[in-house]
């Protein structure tokens, strides 16, 4: 089967992935070293936070473990695909088993979200500016992964220095415009878009052409979904349609 294809990239040197940053704290300016894992593979960053077996390995063993985990996840979805509510045309099993053996494929990242019960937020940093992309659709624990200088590392929400609710600073995964008005910040420069967006589940509603806006407003109210936007204006038909579907994922 395709998921037993060999993982060819074995060039990672774990010792090269650790950077030492010095932070000054307290009145006595006591300096402490903070080890930050840097990797060119998003899966490794996820494993460093969510996989105990990875965490207890020696540095020399970790690169091989990441490769083995890629194959393990590929085998897992091959056997368990039908347990997920994935759209079989847009997000089929062959696509997913193949992408899980590669690095930083959008389809694989979306599966990591479901498998580890997280929602990966990719923070694309260029110089002193950063744009945040929400990869998943579900309301799960945010995991912030920064991309900087061709590598990924985990970052805490508190380090983002964003005022107010974080959700209002998040961009759609395939957005090329937004808080940072420069297409270079697009995720197409960071990950591989093997699918065009993150709508990977079977929709609750029939195609939008089957509904009138009044019908969607009524359904939204029944599902405790606000029919108005924050500015008080009524939501459009498409906004109601999307919100109802999102509430059912």
Whether residue 37 contacts residue 18, with contact meaning beta carbons closer than 8 Å, is answered with: yes
Q: How far is CA 160 from the centre of its chain?
A: 17
Averaged in consecutive runs of 10 residues, what is the pLDDT profile of the chain (249 residues)?
46 52 40 72 98 96 97 98 95 97 98 98 90 94 95 95 87 83 86 95 94 95 92 92 90
- Tokens found for residue 91: 């997000």
pLDDT for 31-46, tens place per residue?
333 578 999 999 999 9
Q: How many CB atoms lie within 10 A of CB 95?
A: 16
202 in a domain, yes or no?
Answer: no
Contacts of residue 77, Cβ cutoff 8 Å, sequence gap at least 6 = 84, 93, 96, 97, 100, 111
Q: Are residues 183 and 220 in the same domain?
A: no
Contacts of residue 7, Cβ cutoff 8 Å, sequence gap at least 6 = 67, 70, 71, 101
194 in a domain, yes or no?
Answer: no
Q: Are residues 220 and 176 in the same domain?
A: no
User: Which of 145, 160, 189 finishes a domain?
Assistant: 189
**pLDDT at residue 161, rounded to an integer:** 84
195 in a domain, yes or no?
Answer: no
**pLDDT at residue 17, rounded to an integer:** 59
Q: Are residues 104 and 43 in the same domain?
A: yes
Whether residue 101 contacts residue 66, with contact meaning beta carbons closer than 8 Å, is answered with: no
For 205-244, letters b (16+ CB in 10 Å) and e give eeeeeebebeebbebbeeeebebeeeeeeebebeebbbbb
Q: Are residues 176 and 142 in the same domain?
A: yes
The residue range of the domain holding 70 is 2-189
**pLDDT at residue 12, rounded to an integer:** 57
**pLDDT at residue 8, rounded to an integer:** 47
**pLDDT at residue 23, rounded to an integer:** 39
Q: Are residues 45 and 154 in the same domain?
A: yes
Q: What angle do CA 34, 40, 41 make, to 5 degrees?
A: 100
Structurally, the chain folds into a number of domains equal to 2
Angle between helices 59-80 and 42-50 (to 10 degrees): 100
For residue 152, what is the domain's CATH number? Answer: 3.90.70
Whether residue 45 contacts residue 122, with contact meaning beta carbons closer than 8 Å, is answered with: no
Q: Can you say whether the dihedral through the CA atoms of 101, 104, 107, 109 is positive or negative? A: positive
């Amino acid at each position: 089967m395709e998921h037993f294809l060999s993982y060819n990239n074995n060039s990672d040197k774990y010792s090269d992935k650790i950077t030492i940053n010095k932070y000054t704290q307290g009145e006595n300016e006591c300096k402490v070293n903070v080890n930050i894992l840097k990797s060119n593979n998003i899966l490794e960053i996820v494993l460093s936070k969510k996989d105990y077996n990875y965490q207890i390995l020696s540095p020399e063993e970790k690169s091989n473990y990441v490769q083995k985990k890629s194959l393990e996840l590929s085998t897992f979805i091959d056997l368990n695909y039908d347990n997920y509510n994935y759209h079989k045309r847009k997000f089929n099993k062959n696509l997913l088993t193949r992408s899980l053996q590669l690095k930083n494929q959008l389809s694989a990242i979306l599966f990591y979200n479901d498998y580890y019960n997280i929602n990966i937020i990719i923070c694309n940093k260029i110089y002193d500016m950063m744009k945040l992309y929400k990869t998943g659709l579900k309301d799960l624990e945010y995991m912030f992964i920064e991309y900087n200088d061709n590598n990924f590392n985990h970052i805490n929400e508190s380090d983002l220095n964003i005022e107010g609710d974080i959700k209002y600073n998040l961009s759609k995964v395939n957005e090329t415009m937004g808080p940072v008005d420069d297409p270079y910040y697009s995720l197409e420069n960071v990950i591989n878009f093997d699918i065009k967006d993150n709508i990977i589940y079977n929709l609750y509603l029939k195609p939008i052409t089957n509904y009138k806006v009044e019908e969607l407003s009524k359904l939204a109210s029944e599902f405790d979904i606000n029919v108005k936007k924050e500015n008080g204006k009524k939501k459009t038909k498409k906004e109601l349609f999307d919100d109802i579907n999102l509430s059912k994922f």
